[in-house]
Chain A
Amino acid sequence: MTTPPKPYSPRDWSSHPPIIAPDYKSTPLRGATKPLIPIRQSLSELTGPVFGQDSLGELDNDLTKNGRKDGEPLGERIIVSGKVVDELGRPQPNMLVEVWQANAAGRYVHKVDQHNAPLDPNFFGGGRCVTDDQGVYRFYSVKPGAYPWGNHPNAWRPNHIHFSLFGPSIATRLVTQMYFPGDPLLDLDPIFLSSPEKARDRLISEFDLSLTEEEFALGYRFDIVLRGPWETPMETA
């Protein structure tokens, strides 16, 4: 059975950052300066790559295990979980969620990261998971540390985890960052602040005791909303 694809609602530019945000100093030379040209959505935009459970390796969803050499990674163990829904609130099952992050000391495995905080021999920092039939994803990790970057004097990124999702088509593609509640660096970070004020709290996870595993790891909830089909919502709630 194939269902004819429905167009997606527009990318909501009142929720997304602008293409150029001068306080984030890499943007002025790298963002497009001419207006984006609207496109009539065709099969090209209404389809996208399909990745399910079979695209996962055995330890992909457990960053506390997938980089181990001879012991446990250092840091505060966490569980990050949430529901991926579209704008109509409909769960997005069997969707790939890719994540990457710094270690507990704020150091990335990446070769160009020059921060002098130590690498953790037992932590890699990259992984992925797939949402279940209710749209819920879940992975294990350690809480990433803050780290300095050269954007402006005393610029430090808040603790964050990078997320990459496809959703059902390339139109629903999303790359974002998850932040932690109560982080004092949030109010100083031009990347976080680039998103419109009304939408910023959607980037901050919630501490959730019910996700916490006793004597093992603390739980954080981060729900994600992707673009939905362009149709009148049926829900009355």
Chain B
Amino acid sequence: MTKGQTPSQTVGPYFAYGLTPEQYGYPLASIASPDLRTPDVEGRQIRIEGRVLDGKGEAIDDAMIEIWQADPQGRYAHPADPSYNKGRGNIAFKGFGRCGTGTDPENRFIFDSVKPGAVDDSQAPHINVIVFMRGLLSHLYTRIYFADEADANAKDPVLLSVPEDRRDTLVAAREESGGTVVYRFDIHMQGENETVFFDV
């Protein structure tokens, strides 16, 4: 047997040149970017925008957000997904993005992606989110659901496992600006509207 899980530690304030170098202008190729779109992807393009707010309601400028999502047909680009490679289009779509909050004047994270399809039949379309920052010793998981999927959301087993008065914190508002569909999703670390975080 092993000696047990290696403990988590904070990502700290200086992750950008190692984890999100191109976004911050450092001379190292990034393995992932805030733009998940690939030339072959078939599906509706969307933008996801939001801020990470601390206990005083101030936007955090040194958080890093990772997203992991299915393609528009509800398939994850991972061998554990039984639909992986099965009649697969979107072959270049990796489903993973990374964005720091330090390069936008309003400290937003902004992802360009495609709207994910429903996964596992019973789940509503969603994007998995991992949150890192200075002052966070263990990363936190949350999910983005979409306000224009009310019927699917009402039946989603994960949303239903969340107390009713907190479900709204997981649903991104839909806006349209200049033909682009934008979903707005602020992450409140604390306070009245504290975002639901999952023990994954």
A125 vs B32: C-alpha distance when bound (angstroms): 19
Task: Answer yes or no: B27 CB below 8 A from chain A CBs.
Answer: yes
Residue of B9, B77, B82, B190 with highest tally of chain A CB at under 10 A: B9
Of B32, B123, B158, B199, the residue contacting A11 (CB under 8 A) is B199
The chain A residue with its CB closest to the CB of B195 is A32
Which residues of chain A are near B123, meaning CB under 8 Å? 42, 44
Task: Answer yes or no: A96 CB below 8 A from chain B CBs.
Answer: yes
Which residues of chain B are near A99, meaning CB under 8 Å? 18
**Given contacts A29-B54, A38-B199, A124 and B8 within 8 Å (CB-CB):** no
A224 vs B95: C-alpha distance when bound (angstroms): 26
Taken residue by residue from 211 to 237, chain A's Cβ proximity to chain B (1 for < 8 Å, 0 otherwise) reads as 000000000000011110000010101
A204 vs B138: C-alpha distance when bound (angstroms): 18
**Given contacts A37-B162, A40-B158, A126 and B136 within 8 Å (CB-CB):** no
The chain B residue with its CB closest to the CB of A41 is B200
A26 near B135 (CB under 8 angstroms)? yes
Size of B's binding interface in residues, CB under 8 A: 76
A12 vs B7: C-alpha distance when bound (angstroms): 9
Q: Which of A19-39 contact B (CB under 8 A)?
A: 19, 21, 24, 26-34, 36-39
**Given contacts A39-B158, A57-B29, A89 and B2 within 8 Å (CB-CB):** yes
A42 vs B16: C-alpha distance when bound (angstroms): 31
A18 near B137 (CB under 8 angstroms)? yes
Task: Answer yes or no: B11 CB below 8 A from chain A CBs.
Answer: yes
Task: Answer yes or no: A122 CB below 8 A from chain B CBs.
Answer: no
Which residues of chain B are near A202, meaning CB under 8 Å? 3-4, 6-7
Considering the complex of A and B, which 7 residue pairs feature the smallest CB-CB distances, nearest first? A100-B18, A26-B135, A47-B78, A30-B135, A49-B96, A17-B137, A195-B7
The chain A residues found within 8 Å of chain B, CB to CB, are 2-5, 10-12, 15-19, 21, 24, 26-34, 36-51, 55, 57, 60, 66, 85-89, 96, 98-100, 108-113, 124-128, 162, 164, 168-171, 173-177, 191-192, 194-196, 199-200, 202-203, 224-227, 233, 235, 237
A-B contact pairs, 20 of them (CB 8 A): A11-B138, A12-B5, A17-B7, A24-B135, A27-B137, A33-B190, A34-B194, A37-B198, A37-B199, A40-B158, A40-B161, A41-B200, A47-B81, A49-B95, A108-B14, A124-B17, A175-B10, A176-B6, A191-B10, A225-B6
